[in-house]
Chains A and B, each alone.
Chain A
């Protein structure tokens, strides 16, 4: 306050003076009240506490303040200004303070209740810290020096670094305040020009205790600063390759002792001169890079690493080889585990395969002097590696010689005895021929019937209409009964029943399609399949054309058209007479020409199918016969006859 405020003497003095008033509770603020249950802010100069309400500073505003001085101090000393915090630095400061400054137990301090609120109050920390530094009032055992440093460290947030699931708040990494700017995570950050895809904390700030293993700091994760385009290719996969392995290693260590993990992580920065302590799987980058890092060079912005791009081609194969080697190591480890469980035979087979793979390598490694001689006739040159001949010509010559020598003998052998399969084939062909002929005659028969039918229909149409008593009879009956349609199930008048059912069926049937990819191409067939192209399914409709409900609509029947159905006596005998009823009325012969046409067409289709089948069979037999005793077959196989008398093992009964 007045005189005491500017004095860096224990503020207790100021409080004590208040106690002279007779109240034991210390009083604060301009209102001089002992109330401490509301938000308070402390002056960094006089260390007096003020209620936020009294001086009209809210807690939220206070959060933005870094240094605050009460009005009186400011008036007294114009140099004192209220300093506000940068948005980001506020968070960082708060983190740092967590680690760097000791926590306020609050237990041993003179000020009682403010303690729990202390953490939330702006400015309280420093005040208290300053108080603690002087140390007399509180038995708090903390090291004073780092606390009473520069004003910039007078953070208004608590000195305690926030703990969270991924931050212990106490390790070296947690205490760091600034991002290094050179690790892969930093380079991904927007503020360092990265695409912000990875979005993780700086490697050096990953908590050593609680952060994910793969996020923690490793020297290999510090890659050169060069922009991604210019990064040589083998380098880029490296971080991803290495991370799982070292983390595995760490993970294993962690199982033993949790504490060791942190030390293991701390080790790399210190292992400067000797890269050996890192495991083989920890593929270290090129030595230059490593040394640069170890010299603390990641403060220099990238210059040493820039130069590495020139060396990259030289290093790539080496790195790549080591990278590949690592993969093999992993795979072999997995394999060896499996082998123990597998049978011996499979184990051996796997090795056999491996050996087979190894052999080509060995062949490549041969020197010309040890190559075998070419197998060509009369040729003394060495063979090409991986081949038996020195050139194509030699190979061809040898093959030709073989054929000249061996083939005549084989042909003679073959012809020594009649080939029974040939005989069978010939018999089969004959049979097929005969069947084909009979099928063809049937086909002709069908065609004839087809034409007959058309003639009948035509003739019938030319008849005149004649009303009959029959029709009237038909009408009077069945008007009361109801028939249910077989397709839709609705009750319908029997008079229109046929027509309705026909249309109903067509409606349902036309919803499905029945077709094949190929259009019909049969010579000599007039009308068989519908063959309408359906572009959706890319098929041609393969229903009978006369019957297809989808694609052919029944033509409208004119009123004067006559039914024309040939009448029969006793089902089979044709009377020669035709039904004279108008088509629209005739129920007995409803759609007769469609049905008859369909019958004939179906027969024709059947015959065509049969012909097709026979054709297929014939083709098979013919190919078998032509391919028998081919050059390759004769050269590769041989049948040695031991008994010249016996050429056929069949007993005479069967022949």
Chain B
């Protein structure tokens, strides 16, 4: 890293780079993610990658019915969690980084203890593939969305389903808690995004755009005020949900078929990171909406891109032709 900065400074002196007076400003304009590690090990398409909240581990779920834990900083293989009978669609960490929840096509979710590698509980209740899952910030609840068009809230301790929200009229593609755990957002193929009160299960708001393309991914922003909604018309939108207005739109990537994860990158510059069906990872500037970098290296659809909680690290995973996870690092 030291060498790079020196190089930049020299280039600035030579007048090759604009606005050399303020290196910070330059740094915040574009990231320079470079490929550092390729993690090989899955035998089928990888469906999701997530960094642990303490930044030490990377969990990846795959269609080969296992979850693999890798070291986040060195990319080294740590362990494998076996137990599901069918493909796994999503995995999520608890806030203390000691537990994982995974959602699978075998209609169940499993709660894992990472340290021992054992499955602690199996959550049964959905009547079709479970597609997405998440912990709430206190990590005493799990929320799951499924192809049976419902969203279920589970209690971690007992494994029982506390509430079922008959949320949508099409498969639910994403569920997420906000940073305080009081709100739930759910998006579905029916083009409707709903915000629910976590305590009562009441639907507080419904966000529908003019035309309603299927929603493939939704997420709260880190401060809980905005929603990032990805739709299957090659568009990512940033919504202010309290006012019900779309603030920013990010395009340029390809997303018409798969539910591709998108993320806020806040460790360095403020970016929006998303995979794409043209095998690239797209990074947009959050404010200016322009594409600041495209990461090349995968040989299949990049289904998931995750941002490290403290470092400028991005992990990306691709589908069946590729089956690898790539770790990228940037200076800013």
Bound complex: CA of A636 vs CA of B35, how far in Å?
22
Interface-side segment among A253-261, A373-381, A418-426:
A418-426
Q: Assess the A640–B116 pair: CB atoms within 8 A.
A: no
B74 lies within 8 A of A648 (CB): yes
The 8 Å CB contact of A421, one of B76, B128, B329, is: B76
In contact, A637 and B41 (Cβ under 8 angstroms): yes
Return chain A residues, CB-CB under 8 Å to B74: 417-421, 639, 647-649
Q: Is the CB of A641 within 8 A of B41?
A: no
Say whether A646 faces chain B, with CB atoms less than 8 Å apart. yes
B interface, CB within 8 angstroms of A: 1, 34-41, 56, 68, 70-79, 115-116, 128, 147, 310-313, 327, 329
| Closest partner residue, chain B, to A342 (CB atom) | B128
- How many angstroms from the CA of A628 to the CA of B117 in the assembled complex? 13
A649-B73 contact given A639-B39, A640-B37, CB 8 Å threshold: yes
A421 to B78, CA, bound (A): 8
Kindly name the residue among A343, A424, A624, A651 whose own CB sees the greatest number of chain B CB atoms within 10 A: A651
Chain A residue with Cβ nearest B34:
A643
Chain A hits for B56, CB < 8 A: 420-421, 424
Does A620 belong to the interface (CB within 8 Å)?
Answer: yes
Cβ contact within 8 Å between B38 and A639: yes
C-alpha gap A394/B122 in the complex (Å): 41
Confirm or deny: A366 has a beta carbon within 8 angstroms of a beta carbon on chain B. Answer: no
State in angstroms the CA–CA spacing of A467 and B25 once bound together.
91
Interface residues in A603-655 by Cβ distance below 8 A to B read 620, 624, 627-628, 633, 636-643, 646-652, 654
With A419-B71, A642-B35 known, 6 other A-B pairs at CB within 8 A are A420-B56, A421-B71, A637-B39, A639-B76, A642-B36, A649-B311
Greatest chain B CB density within 10 A among A343, A414, A646 is at: A646
Measured in the bound complex, the distance between the Cα atoms of B38 and A317 in whole Å is 58
- Assembled-state Cα–Cα distance A421/B55 (Å): 12
Residues of A within 8 A of B38 (CB): 639-640, 642
Q: Judge whether A642 and B37 touch: CB under 8 Å.
A: yes
| Chain B residues within an 8 Å CB radius of A424 | 56
Q: In whole angstroms, what is the CA distance A155 to B312 when docked?
A: 109
User: Nearest chain-B residue to A649 (Cβ)?
Assistant: B73
What residues of A have a CB within 8 angstroms of the CB of B116 in the complex? 620
Mask of A405-433 contacts with B, CB within 8 angstroms, 1/0:
00000000010011111001000000000
Q: Which residues of A contact B (CB under 8 A)?
A: 343, 345-346, 414, 417-421, 424, 620, 624, 627-628, 633, 636-643, 646-652, 654
Question: What are the residues of chain A within 8 A of B73 when measuring CB–CB?
Answer: 420, 648-650
- Are B68 and A641 neighbours in the complex by a CB distance under 8 Å? no
Residues of B within 8 A of A419 (CB): 71, 74, 76
B329→A649 contact, CB < 8 A: yes
A643 — which chain B residues lie within 8 A by C-beta? 34-36
In the assembled complex, which residues on chain A have CB atoms less than 8 Å from the CB atom of B79? 624, 627, 633
Q: Nearest CB to that of A620 among chain B residues? A: B115
Shortest CB distance A319–B (Å): 37
- Within the complex, the shortest CB–CB distance from B85 to chain A, in Å, comes to 12
Q: How far is the CB of A372 from chain B (nearest CB, A)?
A: 21
Give CA–CA (A312, B329) in the complex, Å: 77
Contacts of B41 in A (CB 8 A): 636-638
B41 to A, closest residue via Cβ? A637
Are B76 and A420 in contact (CB-based, < 8 A)?
A: yes
Per the bound structure, the CA–CA distance linking A647 and B56 in Å amounts to 15
Known interface pairs A620-B115, A649-B73. Does A639 touch B37 (Cβ–Cβ under 8 Å)? yes
Which residues of B are found within 8 Å of A620, using beta-carbon distances? 115-116
Across the interface, do B39 and A649 meet the contact criterion of CB distance under 8 Å?
Answer: no
Q: A642 — which chain B residues lie within 8 A by C-beta?
A: 34-38
Interface centre among B1, B39, B40, B76 (most CB of A within 10 A): B76
The chain B residue sitting closest to A652, CB to CB, is B1
Q: Which residues of B contact A649 (CB under 8 A)?
A: 36-37, 72-75, 311, 313, 327, 329
Complex: how many Å from CA A624 to CA B56? 15
Contact residues in A for B71 (Cβ distance below 8 Å): 419-421
Q: Which of B34, B36, B77 contacts A633 (CB under 8 A)? A: B77
**Can you give 9 A-B contacts (C-beta < 8 A)?**
A345-B147, A420-B73, A420-B74, A624-B79, A637-B77, A639-B40, A642-B38, A649-B329, A650-B73
Asked if A639 and B77 make an inter-chain contact with CB atoms under 8 angstroms apart, the answer reads: yes
Q: Is B36 in contact with A637, judged by CB distance below 8 angstroms?
A: no
Q: How far is the CB of A553 from chain B (nearest CB, A)?
A: 41
Q: Cβ of B36 and Cβ of A646 under 8 Å apart?
A: yes
Q: Are A414 and B35 within 8 A (Cβ)?
A: no
Given contacts A418-B74, A420-B73, contact A637 B37 (CB under 8 A): no
The answer to whether B40 touches A651 (Cβ under 8 A) is no
Closest to A642 in B: B35
CB distance from B34 to the nearest CB of A (A): 7
A632 closest partner in B (C-beta): B80
Find chain B residues with CB under 8 A from A641 CB.
36-37, 75
CA distance A279 to B306 in the complex (A): 64
A624 touches B115 (CB 8 A): yes
Interface centre among A343, A419, A620, A639 (most CB of B within 10 A): A639
* A419: nearest chain-B partner, CB-CB: B76
Chain B residue at minimal CB-CB distance from A636: B41
CA distance A343 to B105 in the complex (A): 14
Decide: A640 and B76 in contact? CB cutoff 8 A: no
Chain A hits for B77, CB < 8 A: 633, 637, 639
CA distance A35 to B247 in the complex (A): 112
Which chain B residue has the least Cβ–Cβ distance from A646? B36
Chain B residues with Cβ below 8 Å from A639 are 37-40, 70, 74-77
A642 to B310, CA, bound (A): 22
Chain B residue numbers with a CB within 8 Å of A640 are: 37-40
A292–B311 Cα distance when bound, in Å, is: 90
A652 to B310, CA, bound (A): 12
- Whole-angstrom CA separation of A80 from B128 in the bound complex: 87
- Complex-state Cα separation, A627 to B56, whole angstroms: 18
Residues of B within 8 A of A654 (CB): 310-311
- Among B38, B71, B312, the one with the most A-chain Cβ atoms within 10 Å of its Cβ is B71
Once A421-B78, A648-B73 are accepted as A-B contacts, the answer to whether A637 and B68 lie under 8 Å apart by CB is yes
A638-B36 contact given A417-B74, A421-B78, CB 8 Å threshold: no
